[in-house]
Amino acid sequence: MEQLDEYGDLIAADDVLLFVNAAITATGQREFHSGAAEQRLSLDFLHEYLRVNYRELYAATLALGINDHNAALIVRELLVHAGEATAEERRTEGRLIARRLRLLPPQRVYRLFGQLRRAKVNNRRTRAIMRDWLAARPDPAFDAVKYRSGLKAAMRHGRFAPPGDELGDFLFAPRRRGHYRAPLLDAWRRAHYEQSALYELPFTVAEGFAVKHGIPRGAFLERIRPRLTELEQLRLAASAQRHGVALVRGDQRRLTLTRRVTAVLATPVAERREQRAALTEELTAAAARAAGAQRGSWGRVAAVLDDSFSSFTSPTKRQRSLATALACHFLLAELAGSYTACWTSGRTDALLARPTGPTPLGHRILDALEGEPDRLVIVSDGWDNAPPGLAGEVLRVYRTRLDPEHRTSIVHLNPVYDAADFDVRRLAPGVPTAGLRDAEDLPALVELAQFAEGRTGVAELRAHLAERVAAFLSEEHP
């Protein structure tokens, strides 16, 4: 009986880790080897399975580095199925939900509120969560202009009174007033007939008015430049260049390493060569900030990084896998005392990375292990095909015959969810695999990967999650 309990314990831990891998990597969008519908169906099953069988642990994953798509799904599932929770679970869930909602992009939260309205979830607890989130928004007028339909729907669903008569009129009876005291609200009113007013609005709102007024794209981008955020500047850089508009980049220190690398990969190779010094300095500085106190503390590190053709990912998530690998490259260089990078293509100039060729993971792992590193980190989607299966066999022999004492720590980080297997694709049974979306989460995921080796049960995993939840909620009121 004791052995059965231990076996069940390991299965529970494995189930939770499988879900965490999915919640980090899967976004319900098309990947290189699977379509969007397949992704969504697989992900929906995992959410329901974990919620029904391990609700407490399911809620605790909100404290981990899961992506925004899955965080919103977890919140929705917890609120739609609130009747399954005990009173104590609901209290903890409420705090986790409130904290996580503050970290989500506003448009995603408004979309979530719309899903709750359509699901007819309107109990006192849900209304309190919605009310507190809306009350904490720093600029109600900004939300009223940029997320007007979402804010209106949330107000109606929760039966909330708008903060002030003016905002209420703007949302529900915009023609009632001929003038608004709030500059942003009045700019929206004037933008319907006055072209100059649209340049006082947020970019996404002004863009719609520009189309309505027939303003040429180049002229619009030139005048809206001062109102663009750093992310908008990065997203619009290529479009602006085509129209002869040079965007002034904002403070790149506010961008994460992975976001910055994504923008670099969108830049033509010729431009990367020209700007090599500036880009390298910028990415190295971002990696140093991400490494923090652990900078230089990892000893000898070797990395096998996948820049094969499948790292293109899909037209929907263009070069997402490659961006993750390149960001990990810069971060590992900062974490390591000494560092060696082995790209699957054989490339030695990481800044010029592009998706190309097959995936000879086995050969590159041999190259990386030749230097007997303290740590080997493999960043790949796991589709080893040149030849197929060599990577798994190399790792098996190395772990069982050459390094049974685990002198070299090996971890596989996979940025791609495999919908068919409800998990990220693994290379070898003896090597822990963790899902990875943003390189900034790499240190925490390397720690979490120890639970995936099959030697720890749900008790240890619960303790780890409890620590992460406590740390997450301790930041609730900074």
CB burial of 331-359 (b: ≥16 within 10 Å; e: otherwise) equals bbbbbbeebbbbbbbebeebbebebeebb
What pLDDT, in 10s, does the model give residues 198-208?
999 999 999 99
pLDDT at 54 over 80: yes
Identify which of 164, 60, 75 has the alpha carbon closest to the alpha carbon of residue 113: 75
Q: How far apart are CA 394 and CA 130, in angstroms?
A: 52
Counting every residue written for the chain, the total comes to 478
Q: How far apart are CA 333 and CA 339, in angstroms?
A: 6
Domain ranges for the chain: 278-456
Mean pLDDT for the stretch of residues 403-432: 88
Mean pLDDT for the stretch of residues 137-157: 94
- For residue 453, what pLDDT band results from cuts at 50, 70 and 90? low
What pLDDT, in 10s, does the model give residues 456-475?
566 777 887 888 899 898 87
Mean pLDDT for the stretch of residues 22-38: 83
pLDDT at 424 over 50: yes
Compute the mean pLDDT over every residue in the chain, rounded to the nearest whole number: 88
For residue 35, what pLDDT is reported?
83
pTM higher than 0.95, yes or no?
no
**Residue 121 φ/ψ, nearest 5 degrees:** -95, 110
Assigned CATH topology for domain 278-456: Rossmann fold (3.40.50)
Number of helices (H), then strands (E), belonging to the chain: the values are 22, 7
Mean pLDDT for the stretch of residues 266-277: 88
